[in-house]
Amino acid sequence: MASEDAPPDRDEPASFDTTRAHPARVYDYWLGGKDNYEADRATAQEVISVNPGILEAVRANRAFLRRAVEYLVGEAGIRQFLDIGTGLPTAENTHEVAQRIAPESRIVYVDNDPIVLAHARALLTSTPEGVTAYLEADARNPEEILREAAGTLDFGQPVAVIMLALTHFIPDSDRPHQIVSALMDAVPPGSYLTLSAATRDIGTERMTGAASRYNARPVVAQFILRTRAEIASFFDGLDLIEPGLVQPQRWRAPVSTTEVSGYAGLGRKP
């Protein structure tokens, strides 16, 4: 029997802090995964207790990723992806969606959780024609990410930078907008930014309560809620693809009456 404090049936890093919740593992719990620890589960349940809609939100975010990648590969012709804050592998990962349409697609995943690295090496396998690579790095260090990713991606050709449910874990003191700008400055015209983030503009009481509960727990990163205008500014200098910055379940999807407390969009570098 697996221990109460460890995910079952996985080879974990030898030195690993399980006492603080990590966004990747909390997200995994919300998606129904088993690659999480007691601290992650307790934090996830705290959020659910005040905002049960978080479960619908993470599913909507995951579905947005699939549709965005399908657009990038099928309509925009993108064959290179830099997926930062990728989280634990689940169904319909970026490389699976991209390589299903274009087997030659090249994907670099980036996360700062060692357990994500261990699982990614085992589970994120590429087609023979393409490449799937993984970097253990922090999103707050774009220079390192770009340097290491250059071993897999050709930055002379368009790249889709993906940052889903990530920037709301980067406080203003770490300059999240400058991080995004640094990444987009490094890719050529015709590249794309795909980004989603939680907001306090929709379901304000539930979201602020959820953020307070989350941040009161021992966590790796605080949960920062931003306005639509603040999220929109991540796309400054880019051309937003229709329908623009919308709730994730409404981006190129059938009409939905569900309300998700977040925004998602895809912008092209002119």
* Residue ranges of domains in the chain: 54-268
State the CATH architecture for 54-268: 3-Layer(aba) Sandwich (3.40)
Q: Residue for token digits 């995943």?
A: 109
**Identity at 198, one-letter amino acid code:** A
β-partners of residue 133 are 108
pTM given for the model: 0.91
How far from each other are the two terminal CA atoms of the chain, in whole angstroms?
54
- Of 261 and 11, the structure prediction assigns the larger pLDDT to 261
SS3 256: coil
Q: Quote the pLDDT of residue 4.
A: 42
CB atoms within 10 A of CB 229: 10
Interval 104-162: pLDDT, tens = 999 999 998 877 777 776 666 788 999 999 999 999 999 999 999 999 999 999 999 99
Interval 19-65: pLDDT, tens = 999 998 999 999 998 889 999 999 999 999 999 999 999 999 999 99
Range list of H helices, 87-219:
94-101, 114-123, 142-149, 176-185, 204-216
Kindly state the percentage of the chain with pLDDT values over 90: 78
Q: Residues 6 or more apart from 206 whose CB is under 8 A from it?
A: 50, 51, 53, 261
Mean pLDDT, the chain, as a whole number? 91
Q: Residue for token digits 């700008």?
A: 181
Q: Give the tokens for residue 117.
A: 């690295």
